[in-house]
């Protein structure tokens, strides 16, 4: 007997009779770099260690720069610039913009405008990394192709009016080169391992940061659970949260995108949330947006009701209709109590 799949899971299964999606011309620089850099890393790192040995500073610097650039994406690009889930002073913004550029994922303006389109059109054709087109498309293949919307910043007038954001946008490649080439090379010369530092703290660190971020666009729309909403394919995945500084609680995020937290509970692994919160203690961040408890309860209640009625329809279809009336009546009373 064929296994049953939910509507969102069915959308992720390609239709053999559906014509191929029209895509823009290939951007060969993107396609080659993103395809070959993981292979080059896997070959170059062990080869370097075999011939030249390993220095503790290589791995340490790579980890420090991974944390710095990774938080530039989560704390800066994503929660500050794309969603405006909190405010920050100029020092915080500047560091976030430099760190985000070090991750080599485009300028904050381009990244945020694209991400806002993703939230507005999730799982539809205008979603830049539409998960319903399959794993590889949402993971990184979408970056291989030209997109006529990539320089459309009409949904980000606030960012286009921000002097620091525009400074980074104009000087993006200079910052990238400084963070990913000049800085690692300089440190490498100090310890006698310039090539090793370029491989560890430059190439390998960028590759890992890329793949971790890409997992949010792909795996967090395919694996995990949906405790908050089933309006799209977003899912909560604690595994993805571990490698993305807390971004894995994706169903919560898509349900409440303006919330500065992705992991709601104290035990959810979301260091980005705690860094923003700590910044608030020292006056570096402010106006931290939180979804009010009654709003969360209402969403959680609706989702649990949906799950309950779905199970009832599968197991006891003969009483489903009658029970649905009673349950929805009780749900209405709960709604009136909350409001």
What does the domain layout of the chain look like in residue ranges?
24-291, 295-338
The token duo for 292 is 């009010």
**pTM, 2 dp:** 0.85
Q: What is the pLDDT of residue 338?
A: 55
Give the residues across from 203 on adjacent strands: none
**Dihedral over Cα of 140, 146, 151, 156: its sign:** negative
Q: What is the mean pLDDT of residues 172-180?
A: 98
pLDDT, one tens digit per residue, over 140-157 is 999 999 988 888 999 999
Buried/exposed 246-279: b ≥16 CB within 10 Å, e otherwise: bbbbbbbbbbbbebbbbbbeeebbbbbbebbeeb
Q: Rounded mean pLDDT of 265-293?
A: 97
Beta bridge partners of 26: 145
Percent of the chain with pLDDT over 90: 77
Q: Directed axis angle between helix 56-71 and helix 90-102, to 10°?
A: 120
Q: Could you give the 3-state DSSP secondary structure of residue 285? A: strand
Length of the chain: 339
pLDDT value at 182 more than 50: yes
Q: What value does the mean pLDDT take over residues 302-306?
A: 72
The pLDDT value recorded for residue 4 is 41
Distance, in Å, from the CA atom of 26 to the CA atom of 30, rounded to the nearest integer, reads 8
């Amino acid at each position: 007997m064929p296994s049953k799949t939910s509507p969102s899971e069915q959308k992720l299964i390609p239709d053999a009779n559906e014509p191929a999606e029209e895509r823009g011309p290939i951007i060969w620089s993107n396609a080659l770099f993103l395809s070959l850099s993981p292979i080059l890393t896997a070959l170059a790192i062990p080869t370097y260690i075999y011939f030249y040995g390993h220095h503790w500073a290589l791995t340490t610097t790579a980890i420090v720069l991974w944390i710095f650039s990774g938080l530039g994406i989560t704390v800066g690009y994503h929660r500050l610039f794309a969603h405006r889930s909190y405010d920050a002073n100029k020092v915080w913004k500047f560091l976030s913009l430099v760190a985000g550029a070090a991750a080599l994922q485009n300028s904050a303006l381009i990244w945020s405008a694209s991400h806002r389109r993703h939230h507005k059109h999730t799982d539809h054709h205008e979603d830049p990394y539409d998960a319903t087109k399959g794993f590889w498309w949402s993971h990184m293949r979408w970056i291989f192709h030209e997109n006529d919307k990539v320089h459309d910043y009409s949904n980000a007038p606030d960012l286009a009016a921000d002097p620091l954001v525009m400074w980074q946008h104009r000087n993006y490649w200079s910052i990238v080169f400084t963070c990913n080439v000049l800085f690692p090379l300089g440190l490498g010369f100090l310890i006698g391992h310039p090539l090793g530092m370029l491989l560890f703290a430059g190439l390998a660190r960028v590759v890992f940061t890329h793949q971790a971020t890409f997992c949010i666009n792909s795996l967090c729309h395919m694996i995990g659970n949906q405790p908050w909403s089933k309006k799209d394919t977003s899912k909560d995945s604690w595994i993805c949260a571990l490698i993305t500084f807390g971004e894995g609680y994706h169903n919560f995020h898509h349900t409440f995108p303006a919330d500065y937290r992705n992991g709601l509970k104290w035990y959810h692994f979301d260091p980005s949330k705690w860094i923003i919160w700590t910044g608030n203690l020292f006056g570096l961040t402010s106006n931290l947006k939180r979804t009010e408890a009654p709003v969360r309860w209402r969403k959680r209640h609706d989702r649990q009701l949906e799950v309950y009625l779905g199970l009832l329809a599968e197991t006891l279809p003969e009483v489903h209709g009658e029970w649905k009336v009673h349950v929805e009546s009780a749900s209405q009373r709960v709604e009136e109590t909350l409001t």
